[in-house]
Structure 1
Amino acid sequence: MTTLDIMLPYYGNVALMQAAVRSVQAQTDSDWRLTVVDDGKEPTVPGWFAELGDPRVSYQRNEQNLGVTGNYRKCLGLVREEHFVMMGTDDIMLPEYVATVRAAIAKHPGIGMVQPGVEVIDGAGKPTEGLADQSKRRLYKPRFTGEALMGGEVLATSLLRGNWLFFPSICWRTDAVRTAGFRDNLEVTQDLALVIDLLQAGEQMFLSDTLCFQYRRHAVSISSQQAFTGKRFEEANRFFLDVADRLDKEGWTKAAKASRLHLSSRIHALTMLPGALKNKQSDGARTLLRHVAGSDHR
């Protein structure tokens, strides 16, 4: 089996990025290659990588800021192997991650996506589980023990009810993602859009409950910054309605209904209302209220 390409589109906190890199270096399965694409301007970062001295780690800095989607596309273009991970700049790979996903690929050659077990941590690295994560795990995520193989309308419906995936922890088949691509007009829903596109193309996902990845959720994420202004939910509304129309044409009526309803997204908007009011984001509060009420959905 080929080496696993680990792509790290970097922007933000230097210490957290360094912890992410070290977590890759600590893998029990050493058959990986890490590529860091720096979309920022932190002065100490190039020197740190120059001193790292690990031939499996390569680093490059963009001449100009490409933004989230632009840097994703650049990373995707640099992938050389059959499978890759688009790791988050502040996430942690537990030591068995590479071994776990490579075993899954060996068991299911040609699989489009592998989602292993994930633990949510806070900014300090401590395990945490907020109301949103609890709801996704208890209400929306399929119940299975060990492993499961899912795809088609069943998986699409589940994810459109409540997206319980963790994008930075997913291992992807390279040619499938290159065919689907990343959409120009999306940021915070880019992950779900990619998965739905792959499902419509006939790809399947392998699910494992083996815990081997830590996803960091904290207040400085792009989605959190945008939430109080309502920008996140304006994008979400456009995405869900567009997907619903496309799924109706495919005959996936159950998934289309779940997308048009997007109930978990509306509940999420409701939880953000107090923060918007507290931060005196009146326009954002109105946007959140419209999303909660479903007044924008057809």
Structure 2
Amino acid sequence: MVTFDFMLPYYGDVRLMQDAVRSVLAQTDPDFRLVVIDDGKEPEVPGWFESLRDPRVTYLRNEQNLGITKNFQKCVYLSEADHVVIMGCDDLLHPHYLATVRGIIEANPGIGMVQPGVEVIDGEGKVAYGLADQTKRRLYAPQVDGRRVMGGEELATSVLRGNWLYFPSICWRGDALRKVNFRDDYSVIQDLALVVDLLEAGEQMVIDETETVFSYRRHAVSESSVQAFSGSRFTEAERYFNAVADRMDARGWTKAAKAARLHTASRLHAITMLPGALRRGNREGLRTLARHAFTSGRRAD
């Protein structure tokens, strides 16, 4: 049995998905399985996978659209390997991603999560660090010179203050991932929830900055996107932060609880969305965004 599973939940742009698949097949380390779970209906996709004729690739199409969270959960259920990557269907692995991550795991036996080196690319594939990613790196991400192991309250506090992780690039220890899986009640913040759940279960993470092995695609938010400025994602975020703050308090992780109640990065993000909601005349979105930005987090003191 192979020791690595690349699980690819797919919905959306066919060309970008094909590029993502090619980046997996181009790995210098051939010991992997790629499982694509198609949650869409694009007619040419099944034939394209059949034409690959690569025994390492398994392609499955859902009979009905499951949505993001259910499809992510299905990826976890169908994973089998010792280590699992749930990559984005428009992201790119560098050829030595697997070889690099395998080396990190061998140097840190039993590690639950590996966050390797990441660059951010735009819709055209060009390296581009916008304001959100610069803020992640400069204000929220820990300063790592080489590699660092983090876990427990230290890492929980860090990611609850501002989620600087690049979820699709993370390699998970399979048994830990399958034991926890994604929560049913979140559709936007499920990646952060999964990491915190694993930290509560005693898992640790290696953060590696020795080399870049993953390209994370960041698409510009469309001004025409209703959901982007409705504030609905922040309603979910506030519900999560309130709940996890209580759990952190119960665990005695008081710094993590305070970070959750303040959720500084999430509130700043809401502030940056306010002008777009105002231009669209979205009054309900404005109220939701303003409430999240300016009135949440007061319990922190």
State the TM-score bracket (shorter-chain normalisation): over 0.9
Contact 2:274 2:286 in 1 (8 A): yes
Counterpart of 1:160? 160
CA deviations 1:158-212 (Å, max 9, x no partner) are 1111100001000001111122121111111100000001101110001111210
Inter-CA distance 40–185: structure 2 relative to 1 (3 Å threshold):
same
CA contact (8 A) 2:111 2:206 kept: yes
Letter of the 1:181 counterpart:
N
Q: CA-to-partner distance for each residue in 1:30-80, whole Å, 9 max, x for gaps?
A: 111100000010000001001111111110100011111111111111111
Q: How far does the alpha carbon of each residue in 1:3-45 deviate from its partner, in whole angstroms, 9 at most, with x for none?
A: 2100000001100000000011111111111000000100000
Instruction: Tell me how far apart the structure 2 counterparts of residues 188 and 63 of structure 1 sit (CA, whole Å).
Output: 23
2:243 aligns with: 242
Q: Identity, % of aligned pairs?
A: 65
Taking structure 2 as the reference length, the TM-score comes to: 0.95
Q: Partners in 1 of 2:2 and 2:59 — Cα distance? A: 21
The CA distance in 1 between the partners of 2:73 and 2:262, in whole Å, is 30
Q: CA deviation at 1:257?
A: 0.2
Q: How does 1:123-162 map to 2 (within 5 A)?
A: 123-162=123-162
- Letter in structure 1 aligned against 2:162: G
| TM-aligned CA distance change 1:233 to 1:256, over 3 Å | same
The residue that corresponds to 1:31 in the other structure is 31
Q: Distance in 2 between matches of 1:197 and 1:189?
A: 12
SS of residue matched to 1:51: helix
| C-alpha distance in 2 between matches for 1:37 and 1:171 | 18
Q: Which residue of 1 aligns with 2:45?
A: 45
Structure 1 counterpart SS, 2:128: coil
Aligned positions of 1:1-298 closer than 5 A: 2-209=2-209, 210-219=211-220, 226-295=227-296, 298=299
Deviation at 1:220, TM superposition (A): 6.3
Any idea what SS the aligned residue of 1:202 has?
coil
CA distance in structure 1 between the partners assigned to 2:57 and 2:96 by the alignment: 18
SS in 2 for 1:228: helix
Deviation for aligned residue 1:225: 6.0
Distance between the aligned counterparts of 2:44 and 2:195, measured in 1? Answer: 36
* Partners of 2:262 and 2:297 within 8 A in 1: no
Structure 1 residues 297 and 46: CA distance shift in structure 2, 3 A: farther
Q: SS of 2:52's equivalent?
A: coil
Q: Displaced runs of 4+ in structure 1, greater than 3 A? A: 295-298
The answer on whether the counterparts of 1:237 and 1:296 sit within 8 Å (CA) in structure 2 is no
Contact 2:261/2:297 (CA < 8 Å) preserved in 1?
no
Q: What is the CA-CA distance between 1:280 and the residue it aligns to?
A: 2.4
Q: Quick one: structure 1 residues 225 and 219, their matched pair in 2 at CA, closer, same or farther if it must change by over 3 Å?
A: farther
Q: 1:296 to 1:12 in 2, by over 3 A?
A: same
User: Aligned partners of 1:37, 1:108: CA distance in 2, in Å?
Assistant: 30
Gaps of 5+ in 1: none
Letter in 2 for 1:98: L
Q: Report if the CA contact (8 A) 1:266-1:294 is conserved.
A: no
- The CA distance in 1 between the partners of 2:144 and 2:74, in whole Å, is 36
User: 1:226 Cα deviation (Å)?
Assistant: 2.8
For the 8 Å contact 1:37–1:59, the answer to whether it is kept is: yes
5+ long unaligned stretches in structure 2: none
For residue 118 of structure 2, give the secondary structure of its aligned residue in structure 1.
strand
Structure 2 residue matching 1:31: 3-state secondary structure: coil
Amino acid at match of 1:278: R
CA offset digits 1:252-295 (Å, max 9, x no partner): 00000000001111000000111111222221111001111024
Letter in 2 for 1:115: Q
What are the superposed Cα offsets for residues 94-146 of structure 1, whole Å, 9 maximum, x if unpaired?
11111111111111111100000100111111111111111110111111111
Tell me how far 1:296 sits from its aligned partner: 7.1
Counterpart CA distance in 2 for 1:68 and 1:137 is 27
Tell me which amino acid in the other structure corresponds to 2:104. A
**1:208 counterpart SS class:** strand
Task: State the Cα RMSD in Å.
Answer: 1.5
| Length-normalised TM-score, structure 1 | 0.96
